[in-house]
Amino acid sequence: MRKFETMTGKVVPMDRPNVDTDAIIPKQYLKSIKRTGFGVTLFDDWRYLDPGEPGMDHGKRRENPDFVLNQPRYRGGQILLARKNFGCGSSREHAVWALDDYGIRVVIAPSFADIFFNNSFKSGLLPIVLPEDVVDRLFQETFASEGYALTVDLEAQTVVTPSGQAYAFEVDEFRKYCLLNGFDDIGLTLRHADEIRAYEARRAREAPWLFN
């Protein structure tokens, strides 16, 4: 998992509440568990004018020019600005994988669905909860200024606007530690690889029948 420290990224405004995981990545793409290749189908039903299926050449599909990801001023954005209850609906890690594969590193919203919120940290995506009035202000500034970008400092736990206004956010200390160091669940376990090998060697001597 990539480390997350400080980043400055263009903001993509997703100005609708209750964006569910089926909208983030439709069910037909859930067969793969590779964690990659989902970025091109992020928000698939909203992003394209024709239906999509796994294995097709998505580069040949007709884009919806009204959808935010297809608007030139927001292409290449790394920070998704959203409304309340983002990531609701069914549980699927693919929703986080699709955002990450597209290039989104941060999602800012007044609230998140619990499962999506928890899955985000496990894949290196930082979900930030800010008060609704602050999110409203960020939407207004994003719409008013092309190329609007925010700086997110995880160590300091701040979101800083181009004018220098800083907004503090809360994050669990353990999750912060994992993001700063790039540790997912496997990475955390591998820090103890020597102890695990030593334990297995000892058990093989004490109870060899378990290893036959």
Q: How confident is the model at residue 186 (pLDDT cuts 50, 70, 90)?
A: low
Residue 90 has pLDDT above 70, yes or no: yes
* Percent of residues, the chain, with pLDDT higher than 70: 95
Query: Which of 17-26, 64-73, 194-203 is predicted least confidently?
Result: 194-203
The reported pLDDT for the residue numbered 1 is 77
Each residue's pLDDT tens digit, 122-169: 889 999 999 999 999 999 999 999 999 999 999 999 999 999 999 999
The reported pLDDT for the residue numbered 141 is 98
Q: Is the pTM of this model over 0.95?
A: no
Please compute the mean of the pLDDT values over residues 166-176 and round it to a whole number.
Answer: 96
| Better-scored residue on pLDDT, 33 or 156 | 156
Q: How confident is the model at residue 202 (pLDDT cuts 50, 70, 90)?
A: confident
Q: How confident is the model at residue 70 (pLDDT cuts 50, 70, 90)?
A: very high
The reported pLDDT for the residue numbered 197 is 78
Q: How confident is the model at residue 2 (pLDDT cuts 50, 70, 90)?
A: confident
Domains and CATH numbers, the chain: 6-181 (3.20.19.10), 183-212 (no CATH)
* Percent of residues, the chain, with pLDDT higher than 90: 72
Q: How confident is the model at residue 47 (pLDDT cuts 50, 70, 90)?
A: very high
DSSP character string of the chain: -----EEEEEEEEE--S--BHHHHS-GGGTT--SS-S-GGGTTHHHHBSS---TTS-GGGSPB-TTSGGGSGGGTT--EEEE-SSBTBSS--HHHHHHHHHHT--EEEES-B-HHHHHHHHHTT-EEEE--HHHHHHHHHHHHHSTT-EEEEETTTTEEE-TT--EEE----HHHHHHHHHT--HHHHHHTTHHHHHHHHHHHHHH-GGGG-
The reported pLDDT for the residue numbered 166 is 98
